[in-house]
Every structure is written in structure tokens, then in C-alpha cells.
Amino acid sequence: MSQFNRIDRREFMQRSVIAGASLGMARADAHGDPLGIGGPVPANDRITVGMIGVGARAQQLMVSILSLSNTEIVAVCDAYKGRVERAVERTRKRARVCRDYKEILADKSIDTVVIATPDHWHATIAIDAVRAGKDVYIEKPMTYAVDEGNAIVSEVSKNNRILQVGSQGMSTRLQQKAREIIASGKLGQITMIRAFFNRNTAGGAWIYPIPPDASPGTVDWEMFLGPAPKRPVDYARFFRWRCYQDYSGGIATDLFVHLVTSIHFMMNAKMPANIVAMGELYRWKESRDVPDTLNAIMEYPEGFTVNLSSTFNNQISSEGGFHILGTKGSLVIGDKLTFYPEVVNEDNRWIVDSWTSDMEDAYYRDSKNRREEMPATREPELIEAQQNYQEIGLDPTDIHFRTFFASVKTRKPPVEDALAGHRAASCAHLINRSAREKRMVSWDFAKENIKA
């Protein structure tokens, strides 16, 4: 779900209450716009929203939407009745229940849709939505397969629609500050980035509790399957769909997409040229067919390499983060942002000590050598020390939605458009292909597709 600062249940409930209390009320919003898209949503026409898929993450998205003024969730649909009931309750029973997503798309009074279904439905619904004249907020990953990305990009452009992908890390002030520091050259030449997402619980591995009322009367299995391979009813697959390749790309599409989207944003990069990966299923073997441990290396034409790693078997400290390593300094990003200046001193004394005494003496008579290799002999000076930044305020998803609705009203490009979403999701798909086929895979920049 969110970028390292997952909302615990207490905070989620508190925000639900606040969102419910603000429903239908105008609210002055004094927070600035993080990416220059035009500030808070203009306080004129109301934006109507249809929720396509209202599972656990979608319920959190609803809380963010309901916290914003001049937006209203007017319709919901899902393949499980319990979720639908909770979603309607969240809107104070103002949203109507639709049989399926096509009923929402057919409603001309609905301006935008939020697609929060399992991944294998994303492309079909997104393309149908923009063809129906809807603007779209789509949860990451944008696609289930590489080839779907260009199709979505083309349809969004052809139909002049706004589509924003829901990787909200770029809407954090921390990542915006990191982007600013990197662009300033303060880090020097960046050659490597390490990024990780680790968990050590069954829930973290997507083995969620199954509602006790799961039955043919509450679960529409055929609606869930859609374009996926036909199978007998299996409630573990329905409620734990991220564990299965038929509906998800596992770690790569659920977690690495967040990391990659943020790296592309902070580094102003497009896409790696080459990717190699390895993944295994070590622990949670009885409940899935996607790896619980995955490692990938991505090589970017901009001149840096990214190491991605994730395991559901260990979590030393924070759940996830980035190490951005430069020649003049490094950034460590997790729940806070820390800049570490590189204080480098050459030390060749053990080499020079093997020379003749005359050559050693001459080497250290050189003021440049003394300054670089014997810092204690130079005049005192102050150097920049470690700097810390911590973010407080609205949840990043709130900000991400606010910029989306601003784009809907102004028709300005969204902060994470379909092309950015295609590239980030494609990184995940190429990682999975490399791990599966045990070979390096490459990107065709001209075709925006995997290189044949």
C-alpha cells in the first residue's frame, strides 16, 4: 500500500471518522501543491467518483477522497458483498451499488473512476473507462503485462483523458526534497541506488484473513476471474490474490513498483536498459506461487545502477527505504530523509612507505599531498554535517488524490501519467521475466516495450 508509512488500524479509523464528518461540507485547504499543478482543487464544480473495486486498499483510498472538498463517491462495485456494504456505509449510504464496472462507466453523471481491482483486470477496465469518457485514478501497478501499457497510453491520449497512477511516494515532501537535492548536484555523481522492501509476517506476505461469510452468496467468483484462467471457486485465491501469478506479479508488481516509481521521480530517469533478477519461494510455500524473496539489478542509461531487494522472511528495522549513493554525498530515505556528506581523504602512506626515504620525503613535502592525505596537519575548517528531514502532515495518498482532482479540473498533466505508470510496471514485469527465465532482459526505448 503506502510508501513505508503504512496507516495502522487506529489511525485508519480516526481518519474514517474525520472523512465521514466532512462529507458534503466545504473545507478550506491551506496546504500547498507539492508539484506545481495548481494547489488545492478549485472550489467550484463537484467531482463525482465511481469506485471500481472496494477492497482493503480501496477503503483507504475512499477515506482520502472523502477528506477532500468538492468530491463525492456516488457509486461502488465489487465482487464481494461485504466490501460493498462497508463502502456504502463509509459514504453514509450516499453511494449506490452497481452490478459491475460497466454500469458505472455507463453513468454519464460520473466524472472519474478509481480502479482498485486485482491487477489482471486493470487494463481492460482502464481502456473501457477512458473510452467511456471517464478520467481515471488507477492503483499500481498500472498493468498486469508489458504489452498492456502502450495500449493504455494510446487510449488515454486518443480520448483526451486524465489517467493518474497510484504510487503516492512522489507526493511525499521527503521524495520531493530528495529530488531537489539530487538535481542540485549536491550528491555529485550518483552511480548506485539500493532500495528494499522487507516484511516478516503472514499479513505482510498477503496471507490475509478470509471473511467468515465467504460463500457463493457473498462472493461473485466469475466477476473476480474475468480475463484470468478459469478455475473452481477458491476463496484463498479471491482474498489473497497477490499470492498468485494468475492475478498478480507478486513482490515485483506490488512493492518494487513503488520503489521504481520513486527512483524514476527522484532521479528524473525514464527506464532501465537492462535488468537481471533472481527470486525464490523459501518459506510461504503452501499458500502461493510467487516468490517470497526477490532480488534485481537494473542498469540505467543515465549512468547508474539500482539494486532492488525484498524478502518476507526478515525485517531488521524499517520496512523499506532507499540508499542513494553519490561521490559527494549520500541520501538515506525511509521514514525520514538524511543527507550524509562524503568526507574523503586519500591515504597512500602505506604505499609511499615502500618507496625510498628520499622519495617519501619529497612526496609529503608537496602541499597538495599533505592536505589530501594528512588532514590533521591543515588549518581548521568547517565541513557540512549530516542533515535530517522529517515529514509531518497529510497522508501522501491525500496529496496524490488532490493533485489528481486538480488535473481533472485544469486538464493539466497528472503527476504520474500513463507513460510513467507503463514504465514502472514494465520494470516489474521484466524483473519477473528475468527471474523466471534466468537471463538478462532489455528494454527497447523506441518501442517502449521489451526488446525481442
pLDDT digits (tens, 9 = 90+) for 235-288: 999 999 999 999 999 999 999 999 999 999 999 999 999 999 999 999 998 889
pLDDT digits (tens, 9 = 90+) for 102-116: 999 999 999 999 999
Whole-number Cα distances in Å, 341 to 190, 247, 328, 337, 383: 13, 44, 6, 13, 9
pLDDT digits (tens, 9 = 90+) for 110-147: 999 999 999 999 999 999 999 999 999 999 999 999 99
Instruction: Please state, for a pLDDT cut of 70, what percent of the chain lies above it.
Output: 90
pLDDT of residue 15: 47
Cα separation, 244 vs 288, whole angstroms: 6
Cβ burial, residue 110 (10 Å; 0-12/13-18/19+)? buried
pLDDT digits (tens, 9 = 90+) for 9-29: 334 444 444 444 444 333 333
Contact criterion met (CB below 8 Å) for 182 and 324: yes
What's the rounded mean pLDDT across residues 315-341?
91
* pLDDT above 50 (res 162): yes
Q: To the nearest whole number, what is the mean pLDDT of the chain?
A: 90
pLDDT of residue 283: 93
pLDDT digits (tens, 9 = 90+) for 204-235: 999 999 999 999 999 999 999 999 999 999 99
* pLDDT above 90 (res 371): no
* pLDDT above 90 (res 96): yes
pLDDT digits (tens, 9 = 90+) for 183-197: 999 999 999 999 999
User: CATH second-level architecture of 173-342+385-392+438-450?
Assistant: 2-Layer Sandwich (3.30)
pLDDT of residue 25: 33
Least confidently predicted of 41-45, 67-71, 203-207, 273-277: 41-45
Cβ burial, residue 214 (10 Å; 0-12/13-18/19+)? middle
Instruction: Please state, for a pLDDT cut of 90, what percent of the chain lies above it.
Output: 82
Range(s) for CATH 3.30.360.10 in the chain?
A: 173-342+385-392+438-450
CATH of segment(s) 9-170+394-424: 3.40.50.720
Range(s) for CATH 3.40.50.720 in the chain?
A: 9-170+394-424
Cβ burial, residue 450 (10 Å; 0-12/13-18/19+)? middle
* pLDDT above 70 (res 153): yes
* pLDDT above 50 (res 345): yes
pTM of the model: 0.89
At 379, the pLDDT band (50, 70, 90 cuts) reads: confident
Question: Which residue has better confidence, 340 or 376?
Answer: 340
Q: Which three cell numbers stand for residue 218?
A: 457473498
Residue by residue, what is the 3-state secondary structure of the chain? CCCCCCCCHHHHHHHHHHHHHHCCCCCCCCCCCCCCCCCCCCCCCCEEEEEECCCHHHHHHHHHHHCCCCEEEEEEECCEHHHHHHHHHHCCCCCEECCCHHHHHHCCCCCEEEECCCHHHHHHHHHHHHHCCCEEEEECCCCCCHHHHHHHHHHHHHCCCCEEEECHHHHCHHHHHHHHHHHHCCCCCEEEEEEEEECCCCCCCCCCCCCCCCCCCCECHHHHHCCCCCCCCCHHHHHCHHHCCCCCCCHHHHHHHHHHHHHHHHHCCCCCCEEEEEEECCCCHHHCCCCCEEEEEEEECCCEEEEEEEECCCCCCCCEEEEEEECCEEEEECCEEEEEECCCCCCCHHHHCCCCHHHHHHHHHCHHHHHHHCHHHCCCCCCCCCEEEECCCCCHHHHHHHHHHHHHHHCCCCCCCHHHHHHHHHHHHHHHHHHHHCCCEEEECCCCEECC
Cα separation, 304 vs 30, whole angstroms: 39
Q: Which three cell numbers stand for residue 97?
A: 451499488
Cα separation, 408 vs 306, whole angstroms: 34
Cα separation, 98 vs 51, whole angstroms: 10
pLDDT of residue 381: 80
Contact criterion met (CB below 8 Å) for 371 and 345: no
Cα separation, 241 vs 244, whole angstroms: 6
